[in-house]
A and B are shown apart, each in its own frame.
Chain A
Amino acid sequence: MDYRRDIPLAITFLVGIVAVLDYYTTLESVTNTFTVIKNWGVVLQAFALGLGAVNLFRVHGKRLSERTREDWMFSGWLLLMMVLFVVVGLGTGKYDTSTQYNWIYQALYLPLGATMYSSLAFYMAYGSYKVLRARNFEAALLFITAVLVIIGNTPIFPATFPGLFHLREWIFGPIVSGAYRGIRIGVGIGAVVLGIKTLVGLETGYLGRR
């Protein structure tokens, strides 16, 4: 037995089977065991939250110490920001409920988080102009519904012609429902098959290198 691979595979199987049995049976022993597993899972996921930060420390700490890259100062700033949040969060003992932590969150994280994802709006406009072309029949299909939905989503058009909003609602009815239900069934089957393969040890990618 290779304790480096076989024991983890066994753990995966046992934990997964308890979760599945909890769904299909009403045995109190299974329910109680699964409750423990769930609670452990929450704590382990919490431990896993630090992995990204450790990686950032390794990468940017190296850049900061070597100072060979042009943007090494930014790496230092990144680590400083990380430390700032940790110090303020843990220093008050109140974590995310402290006034100071909320202050720096609303000053730094909130505006950046909100803007980083939303500034893609500019690229959507440019991309639509450059790429959304009815070059052939199939591209025209995508083009038609995209344009009709954008029209239906633009309040000024349905305000003038209410039928455009109903057309948009209709597109989301049979057309979107039909195609996406087919996709959903396919994805569902795929996910279940992959899940079962992982539980029985046929898929071992999550174990990493040999």
Chain B
Amino acid sequence: MSIWEKLTSIPREVIMGLVFIAILIPALNPLGLPLMVGSMSQAWYDTVDDMPAGSILLFDIGYGSGGYPSLGPGNIAAFHQMFEKDLRIVIMATALEGSMMYPLIMAGVKPESNYGAVYGEDYVFLGYIAGGQTAMAGVLGDLHALASTDYQGTSLSSLPLAAEVSGADDYDLVVYLTTSGDTAEGWVYQAYSQYNRPLIGGMLSMMTTSMKPYYDSGQLLGLMDGIKGAADMEFLTNHPGDAIVSSDILSFTQALVLILILIGNVAFWMQKGGGK
């Protein structure tokens, strides 16, 4: 077997092992590389930053355990910014596991101890609402016709923030984080097209390309793309967390992928060129 044939047929277990090592090394010894903030994340940050204190936001936790490693850190950073600016947040979940993400996110933000936020006055969680776009349209259309309690069963009329909002016109900004393409598009259709609300959205990086047309046409005012966007948010809000830590891991793993791609292509072409 020539060297080129060997290089095109490295065993799968060897590759997997190299990937595992490439993840472990930077996790144990962080490099602390500088971050370059993307324009779409900057736009997200600026949109929230421009909101006057007291503005009401509708926030959808549209992801679950699969998206938590990428979007969770971004969610925490986003909430830090919102609570710092005294924005009031009506939180809902269109994802089945969204209501399970909520306590994890709040454990990272600690709004009461960090910002003196009061549940019911500064933020409210409606819980998971089934139906995807139907839920979105329901909350934006007439919240109190749909729901009468929050996620713990407390009457919405007894929660000042929830009592204050009834429909889309009461929200100054709609925000979502999701791993679902249907949810990402659904919010554009409902919040922007139907109810004409300003909208920013966050999603996995691999969804960014298909959602970019909405950002270009102004339907999305900001876009948090996956782990990179989350790292940008942590940097911009000055709340470093797991996303910034992951930057070092991404350096090693993606560099390894590039080396493997290079080896594969060079070996392929050398084989093809008869360099046996």
A and B touch in the complex (CB under 8 A): yes
CA distance A35 to B128 in the complex (A): 19
User: Given A113, A122, A165, which contacts B36 in the complex, CB threshold below 8 Å?
Assistant: A165
Indicate which residue in A31, A109, A134, A165 contacts B100 across the interface (CB closer than 8 Å). A109
Assess A96 versus B135: contact at CB under 8 Å? Given A49-B130, A114-B66.
no
B34 within 8 A of A: yes
> Is A137 positioned at the interface, with any CB of B under 8 Å from its CB?
no
> Which residue of chain B has the shortest Cβ distance to A93 in the bound complex?
B153
Q: B1 in the interface, Cβ–Cβ < 8 Å? A: no
CB A38 to nearest CB in B, in angstroms, measures 4
Identify the stretch in A57-65, A70-78, A145-153 within 8 Å (CB) of chain B at 4 or more residues.
A145-153
Stretch at the interface among B48-56, B79-87, B112-120, B209-217: B209-217
A172 contacts across to B, CB distance below 8 A = 208-209, 212
When A45-B131, A110-B65 are in contact, do A180 and B250 touch as well, CB less than 8 Å? no
Q: Are A128 and B260 in contact (CB under 8 A)?
A: yes
- Complex contact A41–B134 (CB within 8 A): yes
A157 vs B253: C-alpha distance when bound (angstroms): 13
28 A-B contacts, Cβ less than 8 Å apart? A31-B141, A35-B138, A38-B137, A38-B146, A39-B138, A42-B146, A49-B96, A97-B151, A117-B66, A122-B16, A124-B257, A125-B18, A126-B15, A128-B264, A129-B257, A129-B261, A129-B263, A130-B264, A135-B268, A147-B261, A151-B258, A155-B247, A155-B251, A158-B36, A159-B34, A176-B209, A180-B212, A184-B213
Where the two chains meet, the residues of B that have a C-beta atom closer than 8 Å to any C-beta of A are: 10, 12, 15-16, 18-20, 31, 33-36, 38-39, 64-66, 68-69, 96-97, 99-100, 103-104, 127-132, 134-135, 137-138, 141-142, 145-146, 151-152, 194, 205, 208-210, 212-213, 216, 228, 247-248, 250-251, 253-258, 260-261, 263-265, 268
